[in-house]
Chain A
Amino acid sequence: MTTLLQRPAVRDDSDRAVAENRLGQRLVAPAVVIMLLVTAWPMLRALYLSGFRYRLTTPDDRSFVFLGNYGTILSDPLFWKDTLNTVIIMVVTVSIELVIGFAFAMVMHRIVFARGVMRTSILIPYGIITVVSAFAWQFTFSINNGYINSWFDWLPFINPDTNWFGDHWHAMTAIMVSEIWKTTPFMSLLLLAGLSQVSEDMIEAAKVDGATWFQRLFKVILPNMRAAIMVAVLFRALDAFRIFDNIFVMTRGAQNTESSSFLTYRQVIEQMQLGMGSALSVLLFLTVLGLAYLIVRMFKVDLAQARGEA
């Protein structure tokens, strides 16, 4: 197991150090076993199953197709369309959340009254069940029962008959709004934590030197929050890439709003295509892994180092 492969970190061989090493490994062992049991093992099993044409409704008809499933998936336009949807949702929601979240963080940082009230209200969208948030927004956008059409019909592209679940872009907008509402608070809290680490003296010094508000923001505040921004973007981007609940509740994938996760779910649970579904799972896993690597490289921050871990 990975815990045993690391090069020795123990500096001396005294009984005390040996005992400490043993206790440490014993204490982490149960958590490591549980984490591997439910992720690494099933993932290896998925890798194995992805080599078969295997449908649960006809288990005897199982045959080895090597990379056949991957070939089928990668040459299917549906896979690419769903991947594109997922990427659009990820990029749009994370960018908007970053801007709104930062504005929220600025307000929370500066505010001197009602901090508790504000913290409480900000945590409610975070804590609320995603399914509930999806229902709330589905009803908000509903043509019969929603208030969006009547409140915003002064906007040129909204009128009382706008059917938000009637075509691709409207449905995507509704899904993204629900996602943004639910996760902006999380983003703003992470950014607030980063913002409070930026030294006031530095901002003051820049002000004295004649820096404008924009210069102070882009040259002093943001560069000094890089670690916090990176953690927020990393976690939110990967989270957005896994989007599933909102789509399941709001459209069930209608109007081409299917995401990668939804496609995988549909293959496994609805179609019972275990072989094909496993291949999709492996692809999804690899995509997330690649995405994480990209973001970490982009910000050039060592996460463990940022946490102060040796």
Chain B
Amino acid sequence: MRKNWLGTWVGFVLIMAWCLLPVVWIVSLSFKSAAETTAGSPQFFPKAWTTQNYKDIIDNPDFTRALLNSAGIALSATFLSVVLATLAAYAIARLDFRGKRAVLSLALAIAMFPVVSLVGPLFDMWRTFHLFNTWPGLVIPYMSFTLPLSIWTLSAFFREIPWEMEQAAQVDGATAWQAFRKVIVPLAAPGVFTAAILTFFFAWNEFVLAISLTSTTASRTVPAQMAYFVGADQFNPPYSQLATASVVVTVPVVILVLLFQRKIVAGLTSGAVKG
């Protein structure tokens, strides 16, 4: 038994190191001065800690604009996707209707879709519709790529909600729509919230469409902006600046994870096992 206990401890330490070392590394890099990284500084922690990088990055209008784009696009996509997914998931979990299986299969197929294969046609279509390099031009595809995950997560949550409550409301004279709005919505709120977090992660993370369907800082999101923020010499990128930008865009992720870790795990694994 004692051997087991030791093994678990070693496992715990290994997992923590695995997950957090690279994060600690970029945080440490972000406090190294630009001069230090240009000269080459292979030691883990800075020789002299400096907050200059953070001042520079906040003063960089391209970066702050990208941050605004990222936040705006990710939040709009999340909101719209979760609203549509809630309607669809309710129908799938609770109602008997034709084509239910077809909807689920479509969602599954889209979850596996190679995003890059849409870059060409979307690039062409978006130029025709004047959606190229605009916020909606990214919000629309992000919605459709997050709908499958939201629909699956939400229908799993909705199946756990007690049926009787809805039927009781209907016995009391509520229509199917009223039963949905007044009884199910409040009960479903935690599941909806989980779907929203997962959707936000996707939209905040997305890169392929972000570099393909934008051309200027007007709508370029942070991941895209960072990829172009390479500087004059491709083989000598501005390490400390990039690390600082990395830390700044990771902060919202860390906050969400810290606050809602239990919900996120439940959402991610809702499709993995029976029920």
| Residues of chain A at the chain B interface (Cβ within 8 Å) | 2-11, 17, 19-25, 27-28, 30-32, 34-39, 42-43, 45-46, 49, 103-104, 106-108, 110-111, 114, 116-133, 135-140, 142, 144-147, 149-150, 181, 184-186, 189-190, 192-194, 197, 227-228, 231-232, 234-235, 238, 241-242, 244-245, 248-249, 252, 260-261, 264-265, 267-269, 274, 277-278, 280-282, 284-285, 288, 292, 303-304, 306-310
B261 and A111 contact, CB distance less than 8 A: no
Sample of 7 more A-B contacts, CB < 8 Å, known A127-B257, A228-B272:
A11-B96, A118-B16, A135-B243, A136-B22, A147-B42, A181-B22, A304-B105
- Is B192 among interface residues, defined by CB-CB distance under 8 A? no
The complex places the Cα of A245 from the Cα of B221 at a distance, in Å, of 14
The complex places the Cα of A25 from the Cα of B16 at a distance, in Å, of 47
Task: List the 3 closest pairs (A to B, CB-CB), nearest first.
Answer: A24-B97, A3-B99, A107-B11
The complex places the Cα of A241 from the Cα of B117 at a distance, in Å, of 12
Chain B residues whose C-beta falls within 8 Å of the C-beta of A25 in the assembled complex: 91, 97-99
B23 and A124 contact, CB distance less than 8 A: yes
B88 and A281 contact, CB distance less than 8 A: no
B254 and A124 contact, CB distance less than 8 A: yes
| Residues of chain B at the chain A interface (Cβ within 8 Å) | 4, 8, 11-12, 15-16, 18-20, 22-23, 25-26, 29, 37, 40-44, 84-85, 87-88, 90-92, 95-108, 110-125, 140-141, 143-145, 147-148, 151-152, 156, 159, 176-177, 201, 204-205, 207-208, 211-212, 222-223, 226-227, 234, 237, 239, 242-243, 246, 249-250, 253-254, 256-258, 261-262, 264-265, 268-269, 271-275
B235 to chain A, nearest CB (A): 8
Chain B residues whose C-beta falls within 8 Å of the C-beta of A260 in the assembled complex: 116
The complex places the Cα of A20 from the Cα of B104 at a distance, in Å, of 18
Assuming the contacts A31-B85, A245-B207, A264-B117, asked whether A3 and B25 have C-beta atoms less than 8 A apart, the reply is no
B48 to chain A, nearest CB (A): 15
Between A and B, 14 residue pairs with Cβ closer than 8 Å are: A2-B99, A39-B110, A42-B125, A118-B16, A124-B19, A124-B257, A130-B207, A135-B246, A136-B23, A189-B265, A227-B272, A228-B273, A245-B208, A304-B101
B125 to chain A, nearest CB (A): 6
Query: Which of A28, A136, A252 counts the most B-chain CB atoms under 10 A from its CB?
Result: A28
B114 and A129 contact, CB distance less than 8 A: no
Chain B residues whose C-beta falls within 8 Å of the C-beta of A303 in the assembled complex: 108
The complex places the Cα of A120 from the Cα of B245 at a distance, in Å, of 22
Assuming the contacts A145-B37, A190-B272, asked whether A181 and B116 have C-beta atoms less than 8 A apart, the reply is no
Q: Within the complex, which residue of A34, A277, A282 is in contact with B84, where a contact is CB–CB below 8 Å? A: A34
Assuming the contacts A35-B147, A124-B23, A147-B25, asked whether A107 and B15 have C-beta atoms less than 8 A apart, the reply is yes
B126 to chain A, nearest CB (A): 10
A40 to chain B, nearest CB (A): 9
A107 and B12 contact, CB distance less than 8 A: yes
The complex places the Cα of A133 from the Cα of B101 at a distance, in Å, of 37
B273 and A35 contact, CB distance less than 8 A: no
The complex places the Cα of A87 from the Cα of B234 at a distance, in Å, of 28
The complex places the Cα of A28 from the Cα of B100 at a distance, in Å, of 9
Chain A residues whose C-beta falls within 8 Å of the C-beta of B92 in the assembled complex: 28, 309
B121 and A45 contact, CB distance less than 8 A: yes
Q: Within the complex, which residue of A49, A122, A228, A309 is in contact with B104, where a contact is CB–CB below 8 Å? A: A309
B269 and A145 contact, CB distance less than 8 A: no
Query: Which of A31, A39, A248, A303 counts the most B-chain CB atoms under 10 A from its CB?
Result: A31
Chain B residues whose C-beta falls within 8 Å of the C-beta of A39 in the assembled complex: 110, 113, 118, 144
B176 and A20 contact, CB distance less than 8 A: yes
B274 and A238 contact, CB distance less than 8 A: no
Chain B residues whose C-beta falls within 8 Å of the C-beta of A265 in the assembled complex: 116, 119, 208, 212
A43 and B121 contact, CB distance less than 8 A: yes
The complex places the Cα of A166 from the Cα of B100 at a distance, in Å, of 52
Chain B residues whose C-beta falls within 8 Å of the C-beta of A261 in the assembled complex: 114, 116, 208
The complex places the Cα of A3 from the Cα of B268 at a distance, in Å, of 27
B185 to chain A, nearest CB (A): 13
A43 to chain B, nearest CB (A): 7
